Chain A
Amino acid sequence: MTATATLTRTPFFDWHLARGGRMVDFAGWAMPVQYASIVEEHQATRQAVGLFDISHMGRLTISGPEAAKFLDCLLTRRVDDMRPGQIRYSLVTNADGGILDDVLVYCLEKNPTGTDGGPAYPLVVNAGNREKILDWLKDRATEFAARVVDDSANTSMIAVQGPAAVGIADAMTGGAVSSLKYYHGTTAEIDGTEAYVSRTGYTGEDGCEIVCSNAHATAIWESLIAEAEKVGGRACGLGARDTLRLEAAMPLYGHELSENVNAAQAGLRFAVTLGDRDFIGREAFERFAADPHQPMRVGLHIESRRVAREGSAVLSRGKTVGEVTSGTFSPTLDRPIAMAYVEPRTAASGAQLTVDIRGSEVPAVVVPLPFYKRRGNV
Chain B
Amino acid sequence: VNPEELLFAKTHEWVSVAEEDGSKIATVGISAFAVEALTDLVFIELPKTGRPVTALEPFCEVESVKAVSDIYAPVSGEVIAVNEGLPDDLESLSTDPYGAGWIAKIRIKDPASLEALMDYETYQKQCAEEAE
Asked if B68 and A329 sit within 8 Å, CB to CB, the answer is no
8 Å CB interface, B57-82 against A: 61, 63-68
Residues of B contacting A38 in the complex (Cβ-Cβ under 8 angstroms) = 39-40, 65-66
- Inter-chain residue pair count (beta carbon < 8 A): 43
Report the separation of the CA atoms of residues A230 and B19 in the bound assembly, to the nearest whole angstrom: 54
Closest to B131 in A: A1
Q: Are A328 and B65 in contact (CB under 8 A)?
A: yes
Q: Do A329 and B65 touch across chains, with their CB atoms under 8 A apart? A: yes
Chain B residues in 8 Å Cβ range of A336:
42
CA distance A215 to B64 in the complex (A): 37
Q: A306-B63, A307-B63 are in contact. Are A37 and B68 (CB under 8 A)?
A: no
Which of A228-258 touch B at CB < 8 Å? 239, 243
Report whether B65 and A39 are in contact in the complex, using a CB–CB cutoff of 8 Å: yes
CA distance A2 to B130 in the complex (A): 11
Contacts of A306 in B (CB 8 A): 43, 45, 63
Interface residues on B, range: 10 to 19
Subset of 25 A-B contacts with CB under 8 Å: A34-B39, A34-B66, A36-B39, A38-B40, A38-B66, A39-B40, A39-B65, A239-B65, A243-B65, A305-B43, A306-B43, A306-B45, A306-B63, A307-B42, A307-B65, A307-B68, A309-B67, A328-B65, A328-B66, A329-B42, A329-B63, A329-B64, A329-B65, A331-B65, A358-B68
Residue of A nearest to B132 (CB): A1
Contact A305 B42 (CB under 8 A): yes
B111: chain A residues at CB < 8 Å are: none
Q: Which B residue's beta carbon lies closest to that of A305?
A: B43
| Residues on A with beta carbons closer than 8 Å to the beta carbon of B66 | 33-34, 38, 239, 328
Q: How large is the interface on A (under 10, 10 to 19, 20 to 34, 35 or more residues)?
A: 10 to 19
Within 8 A of B (CB), among A147-183: none
Residues of B within 8 A of A39 (CB): 40, 65
With a cutoff of 8 Å between Cβ atoms, the chain A residues found around residue B43 in the complex are 305-307, 329
Shortest distance between the CB of A345 and any CB in chain B (Å): 30
Residue on A nearest B43 in the bound complex, by CB:
A305
B52 within 8 A of A: no
Nearest 5 A/B pairs, CB to CB: A305-B43, A329-B42, A329-B65, A39-B40, A38-B65
CA distance A177 to B63 in the complex (A): 39
In the complex the two chains form, what is the Cα distance from A2 to B66 in whole Å? 21
In the complex, besides A34-B39, A306-B45, A329-B40, 5 extra interface pairs with C-beta distance below 8 angstroms are A38-B66, A239-B66, A307-B63, A329-B43, A329-B64
Could you list which residues of chain B lie within 8 angstroms of chain A, going by C-beta atoms?
A: 39-40, 42-43, 45, 61, 63-68, 87, 132
- Chain B residues with Cβ below 8 Å from A328 are 65-66
What is A's interface to B at a CB cutoff of 8 Å? Answer: 1-2, 33-34, 36-39, 239, 243, 305-307, 309, 328-329, 331, 336, 358
Q: With the chains together, A309 CA to B132 CA distance in Å?
A: 29
Question: What residue of chain B has the Cβ atom nearest to residue A334's Cβ?
Answer: B42
Q: Who on chain B is nearest to A336 by CB?
A: B42
Q: B43, B63, B64, B65: which has the most chain A beta carbons within 10 Å?
A: B65
Please measure, in the bound complex, the distance between the C-alpha atom of A34 and the C-alpha atom of B132, giving whole angstroms.
Answer: 16
A1 proximity list for chain B (CB < 8 A) = 132
- Taking a contact as CB atoms under 8 Å apart, the answer to whether A305 and B87 are in contact is yes
A305:B63 contact, CB within 8 angstroms:
yes
For B90, the closest partner residue in chain A by CB is A305
Q: Give bound CA distance, A37 to B61, whole Å.
A: 20
Q: Residue of B at shortest CB range from A34?
A: B39
Residues from chain B with Cβ under 8 Å of A358 in the complex: 61, 68
Q: Flag if A309 contacts B68 (CB, 8 Å).
A: yes
Please give me the residue from chain A that is nearest to B66 by CB atom.
Answer: A239
Chain B residues contacting A33 (CB-CB under 8 Å) are 66
Candidate in A305, A309, A331, A358 with the most chain B CB atoms within 10 angstroms: A305
Q: How far is the CA of A239 from the CA of B68 in the complex (A)?
A: 14
Instruction: Decide if B42 touches A37 in the complex (CB within 8 Å).
Output: no
Cα separation A305 to B65 with both chains bound (whole Å)? 11
What chain B residues lie within 8 Å of A305 (beta carbons)?
42-43, 63, 87
Closest A residue, CB atoms, query B67: A309
| Assembled-state Cα–Cα distance A33/B43 (Å) | 20
Q: Which chain B residue has the least Cβ–Cβ distance from A242?
A: B66
Q: How far is the CA of A162 from the CA of B87 in the complex (A)?
A: 32
Collect the chain A residues with CB atoms within 8 Å of residue B132's CB.
1-2
Pick from A34, A38, A329, A336 the residue with the most CB of B within 10 Å. A329
Residues on B with C-beta less than 8 A from A331 are: 65
Task: Give CA–CA (A33, B42) in the complex, Å.
Answer: 18
* Whole-angstrom CA separation of A2 from B45 in the bound complex: 33
Docked complex Cα distance between A34 and B45 (Å): 25
CB distance from B34 to the nearest CB of A (A): 15
